[in-house]
Amino acid sequence: MTAIQEILVKIKDMKLKVFIIILLVIISCKKDEEETKIEFNGTLKNSISLGGSLNEVLFAITKTVDNGFVACGSYQSTNNAAFLMSKGESDYFIVKYDSDFNLMWAKNYGGTSTEIAKSIIQTNDGNYVVAGYTLSSDLDVDANNGQKDFWILKLDVSGNIVWKKNYGFSGQDEAFSIIQTNDGGFFTCGYLDVTASGGDGNDNARAAKHGIGDYWAVKLDAQGNFEWRRYFGGSNNDRATSAIQTNNGDFIITGSADSDDFDITNSKGNDDIWLIKISATGTLIWEKSFGGSQIEDSFKVIPTNDGNYFVLGSTISSDKDISQDLGGKDIWLLKIDNNGNLIWEKSFGGNQFDIASSIIQLQDGNYMISGHTRSDDKYTIKGQNDILLIKIDNNGNEIWSDTFGGSKIDNANDLIETHKQTIVVVGQTQSDDFDITSFNGFTDALIIEIE
């Protein structure tokens, strides 16, 4: 008999005995939870390559409530029947893994043309919603409004289609991001080919025709039906890539803009990071341009733990808003207040090409940036292009960085932190050596875990 069991036998008060037992269970569970966490040291733990003889890639990843993850991208191969066979030129590609990195299921969706999935979330009811674009009008795709359409899928926990919707006009319309909104619906954004739509895309009313392409913001209900849609931009090419909903129901959208007219009032150069805030019903509240005289692009906006926002992008400029040019192309991080004012900006990278892809807040209050690099003056480069991870604090100070990959081209597109405080990165690889343990074809979808 253990010491604890002896104490419980001597206690006559049943309520006290029950209380002690419950307390011991809570302490035991807490200890087990702490033991599952691993102190992060930047070591490669897992590397998985997925695909066949053609091109596969994963663009986005999200944590799931079972402590696993789900990721999306595109799949082209037809030679790997034991895994997946593409239905057309390229399909939506979705994989689900459990918390121990075991594959639970892998599925592809699409028609006989091209589908590419760019964003995936787990919904409040435990299912999944995926956004991207389609060029098809057959098989899994019910219709097509022109060339590329926004294509939104809702999937159940096993990857079966619950519903599917496509939105667009006769041109090249692409969704890059989707989030679930406070009211249980969805908000998706991307690119609207306004020239092809003839000015359509702002609900049922034709707005002033802008130009080549605009940010397209679309609010959906819980079943994927339109609530409203608006486009924003100028007479050139403007493309939204990421969005968040604020606590009061407004939306902040980031992307890149090549215009200097209509909605864009303070262009800095050729292509700027263009940040807009719109109301819960799609009215423009403010818009801000950031950049230099050359080219900037933006991939992600997230809230920070002090009530502000991080906007992540890349730059090749060395003037105006850019205070430090490190060479080639740099990762560029901006901290923005709630009114879109620049608090500070910082560049990361070396003397070659460093490109950002995503940023997340970590459980310890710091942040992790993903991207890829060719800069051998700053980082240890294994091949032509390596995955790059950079850990920073809330003030943008670098805490840690490292590269991962093989001797060829390896890219990171998105990342999560697991409940064990490891980092899982998804992207694409052409390598079969060093950190890349297997290879199936021309380019493989890549998943790596760093602990």
Q: Compute the average pLDDT of residues 140-161.
A: 97
CA 224, distance to chain mean position in Å, is 20
The Cα–Cα gap between 161 and 155 comes to 5
Reduce the secondary structure of 182-239 to three states and give it as a string: CCCCEEEEEEECHHHHCCCEEECECCCCCCCEEEEEEEECCCCCEEEEEEECCCCEEE
According to DSSP, the residues that pair with 177 across neighbouring strands are 189
- Tokens linked to 305: 């733990």
At 155-208, the pLDDT tens digits run 999 999 999 999 999 999 999 999 999 999 999 999 999 999 988 999 855 556
Provide the b/e sequence for 118-145 (b: ≥16 CB within 10 Å): bbbbbeeeebbbbbbbbbbeeebbeebb
Q: Are 409 and 21 in contact (CB under 8 A)?
A: no
At 283-326, the pLDDT tens digits run 999 999 999 999 999 999 999 999 999 999 999 999 999 999 99
The Cα–Cα gap between 59 and 161 comes to 20
At 350-387, the pLDDT tens digits run 999 999 999 999 999 999 999 999 999 999 999 999 99
Confidence at residue 341, expressed as pLDDT on a 0 to 100 scale:
98
**For the chain, what is the mean pLDDT?**
92
- Tokens linked to 72: 């999306």
pLDDT band for 151, please (50, 70, 90 cuts): very high
Report the percentage of the chain scoring pLDDT > 90. Answer: 86
Q: Are 34 and 421 in contact (CB under 8 A)?
A: no
**pLDDT of residue 16 exceeding 70:** no
